[in-house]
Amino acid sequence: MINKGAKKMTTYPLLFSPLKLGNKTLRNRMAMVELVTNYAEQQQPTERNANFYAERAKGGVALIVTEGLSVHPTSVPQPHVPAAYLKENIEKFRSIADSVHQHGTILLGQLWHVGRQQLWSPMMSPWGVSALPCPLSNAVPHEMSVEDINEIVESFVLSARNLKEAGFDGVSLHGAHGYLITQFLSPWSNKRRDQYGGSIENRARFVVDIINRIHETCGDDFIVGIKLTVHEYVEGGLDLEESKILIQHIIQHCKVDYIGVSQGNFSFSLEYHVADMHFPPTPFIHLAEEVKKISGNIPVMGMGKITDPETAEKLIVGGSADLIGLGRALISDAEFANKAATNPDNIRECTSCNICWGEIHGGKPLVCMHNPEAGYEKEYGMGTLTRTSLPKKVVVVGGGPAGLEAARIAAARGHHVMLIEKQPELGGQLLQAAKLPGRENLTKTLSFLTRELKRHNVEIRLKEVADEDFIDAIQPDVVIIAAGSTPNLPEFENRSMRVHSFVDSINMEEWGDHVVIFDDDGDIPPYALAEKIATLSKNVTIVTKKPQLAKEANYLSWIGINRRIRSFENITFFTSHKIVQIKSDGIEIQDVFGGQPKYIGCSDVVMVTRNSANNIIYQNLKEKYETYNIGDSYAPRKILAAIHEAHRVARTI
């Protein structure tokens, strides 16, 4: 059955206008861009892959580009990347094509060779354009011979032919972020002296040959697009002006059906590849706008931190892009397109937290911080949240992210839900974290959840303490405890030093001359706090037991944290150190591997330490009522675990 999408409104007329792409016509301008899921098994696409893509097609996007598909045995960046070159995978790819086409969405497979950037390579050496090491793994690749290059060209063609046989409408070539095609195009990575190096014509030869051979084999009606990094942001790498010349050469020598515009490569500029919440909206859209000026009639896809339909519409109106590439926005809300047509305020907007990227970079399956349905479409996707035939009176204690999600799901199922929060505002620690520099986007999660509670008529009681007597007076059928956690400040002998918890520090505006932050968390928030305090105090010192700053942060955000922290002249730091003593006028720290203690004079100490669960109310009620304990009051964890747990539990009631 073709999903024609919800009835369109005129709010975003260009976003919902058709666009010719090769021999196909897209019903709107929204495309799902390629993003790694790690849902494949042993290089084979799975039902989980098919469900993930089908959900986004059902959600209304006109075009889907799959995650990168391996084209050759020398390109296995993760063990969970599907292989397009294997003929035995054709039927599994066909199941993806059928599930996507059922909803009227065009499907392209992204063809991907990683080149020297083979981060997961237990059995072979990576192949590269030149014998230059991968900037991340430092592995030196085998420099490809001309025979090797011809073999890889034909592997792209074989992969395209397999996908065509599986029912795909075309392919997109991954020519971005320092992978093999980029390695040929960029003077930063291509030092060859043969017909594949040096001049624009030579460096473009590889990709031109691939595109022409695919069209020769699969026909001109088979869509062939390309995603290109047009600015590497490294010294000696591709910049916008050279990329425009390259693109003009490519489109003059082969048939390209669309150009996706991206930036960054496998260096510290990888931070720009998936801009996190510290970046403004659409931070690199000017690159697409410039490419559009020289692309003629070829559609240009703009992408990167486009999180709402109003922004998308403005980009098309302003001539920045023809197609809107959505990645994280569709992880956050598979129904983005349909909701944009009928009820934009109902979109669960992406926060750009990059937890999704951190998970896949670590070899784990793709998940979303605030959308538990992502990757679990079979269990939690559209149409699975059925209304109960036995509505119950449900009381949720705690208005943090876990409590809000539990209340949302329970109410959506038809239960009568009351949410009790002791503070004057909803949000819990999420509300506090959103006050930190660069973390303001976290309010998007809070805004979505509070809107949902209103939509489902959840009764909200603020400034109420839900003790045992309070609950007994209500006589609920079900109690969900989401009471959060409390900072667990360590005991110390000297009480004259000003020692603060992380949460208390967020709201402080007056500090002494030297503040020490002890980071026992390792994630982004302590460093956002350090940035804030550095604008209010003369000196800030960060002490962490971890071997590096922000060790637990996703790699992209880790780059940004280090860049920003090191830009402050009044911030110093000690890694692999612990606090051994707090005195009246300073602290003593010691290397975790031993050695003599060091003294740091300071006015304030901020302890970013583990919290303790607020579970007393659960212990008091669990024998009286059907009671569940979720979120930090079950065990202090990250927001992802709290929201996902709340979602699962609330579905069972």
> Could you tell me the fold of the domain covering 498-609?
FAD/NAD(P)-binding domain (3.50.50)
Q: How long a stretch of residues is the chain?
A: 653
Q: Coil, strand, or helix at residue 601?
A: strand
Mean pLDDT check: name the lowest of 25-39, 41-55, 484-498, 517-531: 484-498
Q: Could you read off the pLDDT of 190-234 as tens digits, one per residue? A: 999 999 999 999 999 999 999 999 999 999 999 999 999 999 999
Res 123: pLDDT: 62
Q: Is residue 3 scored above 70 in pLDDT? A: no
Please state the domain extents for the chain. Answer: 19-380, 393-487+612-651, 498-609
Q: Could you read off the pLDDT of 79-104 as tens digits, one per residue? A: 799 999 999 999 999 999 999 999 99
Q: Could you read off the pLDDT of 592-634 as tens digits, one per residue? A: 999 999 999 999 999 999 999 999 999 999 999 999 999 999 9
Q: Which residue has the tokens 């992802």?
A: 640
Q: Is residue 7 scored above 50 in pLDDT? A: no
Q: Would you state the CATH architecture of domain 393-487+612-651?
A: 3-Layer(aba) Sandwich (3.40)
Total-model pTM: 0.96
Q: Is residue 1 scored above 70 in pLDDT? A: no
- Residue positions annotated with a catalytic role: 179
Give the model's confidence band at 121: pLDDT under 50 very low, under 70 low, under 90 confident, else very high: low
Q: Could you read off the pLDDT of 439-458 as tens digits, one per residue? A: 999 999 999 999 999 999 99
Tell me the three-class secondary structure of 39-59, residue by residue: CCECCECCHHHHHHHHHHHHC
Q: Is residue 429 scored above 90 in pLDDT? A: yes
Contact 245, 269 (CB under 8 A): no
Tell me the three-class secondary structure of 59-70, residue by residue: CCCCEEEEEEEE
Res 4: pLDDT: 43
Q: Would you state the CATH architecture of domain 19-380?
A: Alpha-Beta Barrel (3.20)
Q: Could you read off the pLDDT of 63-77 as tens digits, one per residue? A: 999 999 999 999 987
Burial class (CB in 10 A: 0-12, 13-18, 19+), 173: buried
Give the model's confidence band at 494: pLDDT under 50 very low, under 70 low, under 90 confident, else very high: low
Res 492: pLDDT: 73
Contact 500, 507 (CB under 8 A): no
Q: Coil, strand, or helix at residue 636?
A: coil
Q: Could you read off the pLDDT of 545-600 as tens digits, one per residue? A: 999 999 999 999 999 999 999 999 999 999 999 999 999 999 999 999 999 999 99
Exposed e or buried b per residue across 270-288, where buried means at least 16 C-beta atoms within 10 angstroms of its C-beta: bbbbbbbbbbeebebbebb
As a whole-number percent, the residues of the chain with pLDDT over 70 amount to 97
Give the model's confidence band at 136: pLDDT under 50 very low, under 70 low, under 90 confident, else very high: confident
DSSP 489-514: PPP-S--SSEEEEHHHHHT-----SE
Res 481: pLDDT: 99
Q: Is residue 122 scored above 80 in pLDDT? A: no
Torsion-angle region of 500 (φ positive above 0: left; ψ -120 to 50: alpha; else: beta): beta
Give the model's confidence band at 10: pLDDT under 50 very low, under 70 low, under 90 confident, else very high: low
Contact 250, 224 (CB under 8 A): no
Mean pLDDT check: name the lowest of 117-121, 266-270, 370-374: 117-121
**Average pLDDT value for the chain:** 96
In angstroms, the CA 126 to CA 133 distance is 10
Cα 642–chain centre separation: 18
